[in-house]
Amino acid sequence: MNLLKTSLVLAFAIATAIPVNAGPKKKDQAERATLEKMEAVPCGAKEKGVTGFGTVWASAGITHVNSDEKLCPQYLVLSDEMEYHIRPTDTKHPVVLPVGREIEFKIKKDRMYLKVVDQDNKALTYQVVAMKPTNSDANAAQSNSGKSENP
């Protein structure tokens, strides 16, 4: 009886000493996703000309402006749970990402910090402009197909 109590106490001590989740914390682990596509989207206007010199020039009739729509790269990133639309934070010198490649990323607030797998280990910063769960289309299709035609 005494041996049984001792072995039960020893088994309980070993069970409580081993953590339930011995793996790395999910918070510290980077997620993986795929760069699906890149699009050029309007993100502002380039203005050239002499407007903004004040009322002296405006009164002389000098208001010529050439305005071109500025385009920025926007990427679609697909993970298992989410679909992200991201744009580079450095708009003057954006890094072109390889479409179809796998990336590792972390999200903090509205920023995505990503690294391209099997490429240089440089972390790039992108702004998240849109997010959508990837399974929302499948759920909507299932709920629509599940409706019966009978009154």
Q: What is the pLDDT of residues 101-126, one digit of tens each?
A: 999 999 999 999 999 998 888 899 99
Residue 5 lies in a domain: no
Per-residue model confidence as pLDDT tens digits over 62-112: 555 566 788 899 999 999 999 999 999 998 888 899 999 999 999 999 999
Total domains in the chain come to: 1
**pLDDT for position 151:** 47
Report the predicted TM-score, pTM, of the whole model to 2 decimal places.
0.60
Rounded to whole angstroms, how far apart are CA atoms 114 and 124? Answer: 5
> To the nearest 5 percent, what fractions of the chain are helix, strand and coil?
20, 40, 40
Residue 8 lies in a domain: no
Query: Do 74 and 102 form a contact (C-beta atoms < 8 A)?
Result: no
Question: Which residues, in sequence order, are CB contacts of 42 under 8 Å at separation 6+?
Answer: 69, 70, 71, 72
Domain range for 89:
26-41+73-134
Q: What's the mean pLDDT when you consider all of the chain?
A: 77
What mean pLDDT do residues 6-22 have?
Answer: 65
